[in-house]
Copies of this chain bind each other. A is one copy, B any other.
Amino acid sequence: MSHPAGGLTMPTMTTLTTRGRATRTRIVEAAARLVHLNGVAATTVDQVLEEAGAGKSQFYHYFGTKDDLVEAVLEFQAAVSEGEQTRILEQHPGWDGIRVWLDAVVEGQRRADYAGGCPIGSMAAEMADRDPELRVRLGEAFERKRAALEHRLRELQDDGELDGAAEPEGLATFVIATLQGALLLTSTLKHDHALAQAVGETWRHLVSFRR
């Protein structure tokens, strides 16, 4: 597990003033928007600073290189995505939590007009073979979402609501994979038909183990 602001060689969130934190956050959020829509390679530091209304000296105060910024973007996107998953699973116990979370993923794509797909998945597709350090962080981000789902499935199994023959680890991997692929299809096809179908079949497979 990595802390959302951990692992940076530059000043981290905890050592910054309130104003410094706001500036750093503004830069990261601007970068996150551009990276999500255009990809890492096609996003320049200059574009990010223009979008954020910040200057070069501010950038170099908070980030040593573009790589540092890209890592901060991943931490930001992972924190948003895991935060939503955690909130939903806490608010909705049992099978409901999984269903509400899946629906929220579909609804999120609709709200975003099918632009960009999964922010973490897109970064992984572009960067996994180009940046070994970022690749490890991307893998950790996927793994945390997978583990949260596995945890819920194990609870259901312990409570006798999931068949004892079901494999929570494999099922959780399967759900994350299906969502990632369905989000990719959706951002390519620009409608949520494929996402709704894939999530529908995924849910059908999960509840086939419901007891």
Contacts and interface: CB of A to CB of B under 8 A. Distances in A.
In the complex, the count of this chain's copies comes to: 2
Interface string A132-146: 000100110010000
Contacts of A130: 37-39, 42
A51 to B, nearest CB: 16
A12 interface: no
Size class of the contact patch on chain A: 35 or more
Interface in A158-203: 167, 169-171, 173-174, 176-185, 187-190, 193-195, 197-198, 200-202
A128 interface: yes
Interface stretch (A78-86, A89-97, A102-110, A116-124): A116-124
Given A41-B42, A125-B122, A178-B178, A173 B185 contact: yes
A208 interface: yes
